[in-house]
């Protein structure tokens, strides 16, 4: 497996733990704690998947997803919302916008991995 996953989250502990889980499962992982750096990286180094926190301080996850979706080069990247906001309103909005899935933190590692595999068709 050689899939690259970008994680965008402002919680350093979540970034570290999630990166370890994904790397142990064979994924290449790049982490970002702010939106501008993540968007810049993704535009140049197209990943196979983006795990995107909803509650970022500089730009919310929906805004980032809309930016990715509006660019031809990044529009086809599957995005999973990865957030502590598990309210029905956010989940419905994510589905309406076209996000591939929605994982509520704290997460169960096995569920995270199975969701990623499903989205990547593995």
What confidence tens digit (pLDDT) does each residue in 106-117 have? 899 999 999 999
User: What residues form DSSP beta bridges with 31?
Assistant: 7
How confident is the model over 4-51, as pLDDT tens digits?
A: 999 999 999 999 999 999 999 999 999 999 999 999 999 999 999 999
pLDDT band at residue 94 under the 50/70/90 scheme: confident
pLDDT at 64 over 90: yes
Could you give the 3-state DSSP secondary structure of residue 101? strand
pLDDT at 99 over 70: yes
Give me the pLDDT at residue 55, please. 86
**How long, in residues, is the chain?**
122
pTM: 0.93
* C-alpha count within 13 angstroms, C-beta hemisphere, residue 100: 21
Mean pLDDT of 76-86: 88
Give me the pLDDT at residue 1, please. 57
pLDDT at 86 over 80: no
Could you tell me how far CA 35 lies from the centroid of its own chain?
12
Walk me through the domains of the chain, giving residue ranges and CATH numbers.
Answer: 4-120 (3.40.50.2300)
Written in H, E and C, the secondary structure of 26-48 is CCEEEEECCHHHHHHHHHHCCCC
Give me the pLDDT at residue 58, please. 87
Tokens of residue 47, six digits: 């990943």
**Percent of the chain whose pLDDT exceeds 90:** 76
């Amino acid at each position: 497996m050689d899939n690259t996953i970008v994680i965008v989250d402002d919680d350093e502990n979540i970034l570290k733990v999630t990166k370890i889980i994904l790397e142990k499962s064979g994924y290449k992982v790049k982490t970002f704690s702010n939106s501008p750096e993540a968007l810049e990286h993704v535009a140049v180094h197209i990943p196979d998947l983006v795990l995107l926190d909803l509650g970022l301080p500089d730009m919310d996850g929906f805004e980032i997803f809309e930016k990715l979706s509006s660019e031809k080069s990044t529009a086809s990247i599957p995005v999973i919302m990865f957030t502590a906001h598990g309210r029905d309103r956010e989940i419905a909005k994510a589905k309406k916008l076209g996000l591939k899935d929605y994982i509520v933190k704290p997460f169960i590692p096995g569920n995270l991995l199975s969701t990623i595999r499903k989205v990547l068709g593995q």
